[in-house]
Chains A and B, each alone.
Chain A
């Protein structure tokens, strides 16, 4: 093994972290997912630590195994792994990758998919519906922030090395944040179901009966529309029923989102085509 014994230069670190941030998923595929992207990010590191191109390629091949995590969480793994490569403990680094990619994917996905995106997306969609251009910022800003955070996460992981494992296992603040985001999300959705779906109404003309005076053609009596009766029970009853029907399909019946869409679209189409709604 032609190890150089060098300490890593600042340039190699910054090159590697940028490559990881931008290109981790550029070769994403069903077979080994982020493997090639990860190996690509390790090139500047491996080049400084090993002399001959032949050795460099052997080391990179080590990284061409199945790998998949949340890109943000992966930045932390990447930092720690680089520290281990630098001290020539590649086996420890490889094990660390396997050990942490699952848990960090879980934490990263929770932060992104439950904590950050739903509240912001709901708010963005609402602002957009009101014609507010702030919606553009609300729908793209959060992900930009998650992108930028990969740099500090990498350097934190690099400083901690193997110790990141302890950091990952003890994250209590996450639960608290999740609770707060859940409450925010549900409050907003509560208002959104009626406001966004307000167009779902029974047409006044549907099944309306009018008593017409046969001599004058005058309307003497007409039954109130079905919608009026529904509004008397609870405002926005149909939006609520439709949402919980979909919720029932997705959550209880485990129907896939796409199938749920098709079912709902079919029902809605028929209702529209026959003049019910």
Chain B
């Protein structure tokens, strides 16, 4: 597929997924967007790889719906496309991480410009037209769509140039080493955010249990989740009994 089609399709997916997110259907995740990008460029597994690591970085950030946060979703798509064109996971990931941080501001655009359509909807009601009111309200999806479509579409049109830069940067050892460590460290912020919503004072022992299970016994995700669920059930049952 040529660059233009890739840019168009992924731009469209981005905008569409944003509108679905507004409906509460959370398909705009880093993992799914990586997979969709992978499908479009012809290698699902590459998309899965990049999407998986970006999903990891994005955990903990979902509650900050109103705040400006890194756009790991857009990053995952660009990273997958670059991974496919260069064949290098490391270059793909460095593009994904860098763009996630750069793309943070587009969200504000969507939130602010929709006001215009709300005012047009007000006006339609003042003119006694229910149909026009409905039309302008639905048109509110347009700025939301564009706020995600445009950066992805335009950005991907220049993906070749981006790849050249990323490729050159990857040849600087100190630069790529630095970025690699950044990628490895970023999930820590997600963990910190999650911990900050949780009652660490009361339930810290369970965190120690989880740590020991992995660090000393090598228990995987599902095992940790099952023990956590069992502990949660036991604890709440005990509270009720008291």
Residues of chain A touching chain B, judged by Cβ–Cβ distance below 8 Å, are 21-32, 35-37, 39-40, 43, 47, 53-54, 56-57, 60-61, 64, 71-72, 109, 113-114, 117-119, 121-131, 133, 135-136, 139-140, 143-144, 146-147, 150, 176, 179-197, 199-200, 235-236, 239-240, 242-247, 249-251, 256-258, 260-262, 264-265, 267-275, 277
Interface stretch, picked from B6-14, B77-85, B112-120, B148-156, is: B112-120
CA–CA, A114 and B60, complex, Å = 10
B168 CB-CB contact with A under 8 Å: no
Contact A122 B59 (CB under 8 A): yes
CB of A243 within 8 A of CB of B188, answer: yes
Contacts of B239 in A (CB 8 A): 176, 179
Instruction: Find the B residue at minimum CB distance from A109.
Output: B63
List 20 A-B residue pairs with CB atoms under 8 Å apart, sorted by A's residue number: A28-B111, A29-B114, A57-B125, A57-B130, A60-B125, A60-B130, A61-B126, A114-B198, A121-B60, A147-B24, A180-B229, A186-B200, A187-B206, A188-B224, A190-B211, A196-B191, A235-B215, A257-B64, A265-B182, A269-B181
| Chain A proximity of B138: nearest CB distance (Å) | 7
Are B225 and A123 interface neighbours, CB within 8 A?
yes
User: Are the C-beta atoms of B185 and A256 separated by less than 8 Å?
Assistant: no
A197 touching B140, Cβ below 8 Å: no
Residues on B with beta carbons closer than 8 Å to the beta carbon of A124: 31, 55
The distance from the CB of A100 to the nearest CB of chain B, in whole angstroms, is 18
Q: Are B184 and A268 in contact (CB under 8 A)?
A: yes
Most buried by A among B188, B189, B192, B206: B188
B56: chain A residues at CB < 8 Å are 125, 128-129, 196
Which residue on B lies nearest to A239, using beta carbons? B188
For B52, the chain A residues whose CB sits under 8 A away are 125, 128-129, 131, 135
Majority secondary structure of chain B interface residues (helix, strand, loop or mixed): helix
Q: Known contacts being A26-B137, A27-B114, is A271 close to B181, with CB within 8 Å? A: yes
Q: Which residues of B contact A36 (CB under 8 A)?
A: 117-118, 121, 136-137, 140
- What separation, in Å, do the CA atoms of A132 and B138 have in the docked complex? 38
Not counting A139-B26, A140-B27, A258-B70, a sample of 9 additional A-B residue pairs whose C-beta atoms are within 8 angstroms of each other reads A54-B128, A57-B133, A122-B194, A128-B48, A136-B35, A180-B236, A251-B196, A264-B185, A265-B182
In residues 198-241 of chain B, which contact A (Cβ within 8 Å)? Answer: 198-200, 202-204, 206-216, 219-222, 224-225, 227-229, 231-233, 235-236, 239-240
4 shortest interchain CB distances as A-B pairs: A190-B210, A27-B140, A272-B181, A126-B221
Report the tally of A-B residue pairs with Cβ distances under 8 A.
Answer: 353
Q: Residues of A contacting B202 with CB < 8 Å?
A: 182
Interface bin, chain B:
35 or more
Please pick, from A182, A187, A246, A274, the residue contacting B199 in the complex, using a CB distance under 8 A.
A182
On chain B, the residues within 8 Å of A184 by CB distance are 225, 228-229, 231-232
Cβ < 8 Å to A, chain B residues 166-199: 174-175, 177-182, 184-189, 191-199
Question: Which of chain B's residues have a CB closer than 8 A to the CB of A194?
Answer: 211, 214-215
Which residues does chain B contribute within 8 Å of A126, judged by CB atoms? 220-221, 224
Specify which chain A residues have a CB less than 8 angstroms from the CB of B231 in the assembled complex.
183-184, 187
Partner of A139, one of B31, B194, B213, B224: B31
CB of A122, distance to nearest CB on chain B (Å): 6
- Provide the residues of chain A in CB contact with B229, threshold 8 Å: 180, 184
Complex interface bits, B83-123 against A, C-beta within 8 A gives 1, otherwise 0: 00000000000000000010010000001111101100110
Question: Chain B residue with minimal CB distance to A247?
Answer: B192
A72 to B24, CA, bound (A): 9
User: How far is it, in angstroms, between the C-alpha of A145 and the C-alpha of B138 when the chains are bound?
Assistant: 24
Do residues A185 and B194 form an inter-chain contact, with CB atoms below 8 A?
A: yes
Do residues B128 and A130 form an inter-chain contact, with CB atoms below 8 A?
Answer: no
Shortest A153–chain B CB gap in Å is 12
Instruction: Please give me the residue from chain A that is nearest to B220 by CB atom.
Output: A130
Known: A121-B59, A258-B68. A186 touches B141 (CB 8 A): no
Which of A119, A125, A251, A269 has the most chain B CB atoms inside 10 A of its CB? A125
Residues of B within 8 A of A28 (CB): 22, 111, 114, 140, 144
Contact (Cβ within 8 A) B117 A57: no
Query: A27-B118, A190-B207 known; A113 and B62 CB under 8 Å?
Result: yes
